[in-house]
């Protein structure tokens, strides 16, 4: 986590000692969705598009950061408190 800004970044994230997953910020999610849709609609569109290829390679790298090493540690991960300590129930509607 970026200590200066104290916000979660798009990256592998683990709650307490649970398995890591991936947190994707909204701005990154929109961009990933757009590029993945274009790729699925036309796989050849990535052939000569360095930017799209780079973004998808970054996504692969982010997902790979959740791989747990033989020692039991994720390759690259943000850690936050136990899930039950940070999640609150959705407020009931009036």
pLDDT tens digits for range 2-17: 456 577 789 898 887 7
- Asked if pLDDT for residue 1 goes beyond 70, the answer is no
pTM of the model: 0.69
User: Is residue 46 classed exposed, middle or buried when 0-12, 13-18 and 19+ CB atoms within 10 A define those classes?
Assistant: middle
pLDDT of residue 92: 72
List the 11-15 sheet strands across, edge first: 21-23, 11-15, 78-80
- Residues 43-91 pLDDT 10s: 888 888 898 889 899 999 889 888 887 776 666 677 777 776 666 666 7
**Helix 26-41 / helix 50-64 crossing angle, nearest 10 deg:** 120
Helix (H/G/I), strand (E/B), else coil: 19: coil
CA–CA distance, 53 with 51 (Å, rounded to integer): 5
């Amino acid at each position: 986590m970026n200590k200066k800004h104290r916000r979660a970044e798009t990256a592998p994230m683990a709650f307490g000692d649970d398995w890591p997953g991936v947190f994707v910020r909204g701005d990154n999610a929109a961009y990933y969705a757009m590029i993945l849709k274009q790729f699925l609609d036309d796989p050849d569109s990535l052939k000569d598009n360095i930017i799209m290829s780079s973004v998808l390679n970054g996504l692969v790298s982010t997902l790979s950061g959740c791989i747990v090493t033989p020692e039991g540690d994720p390759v690259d991960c943000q850690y936050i408190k136990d899930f039950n300590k940070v999640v609150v129930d959705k407020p009931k509607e009036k």
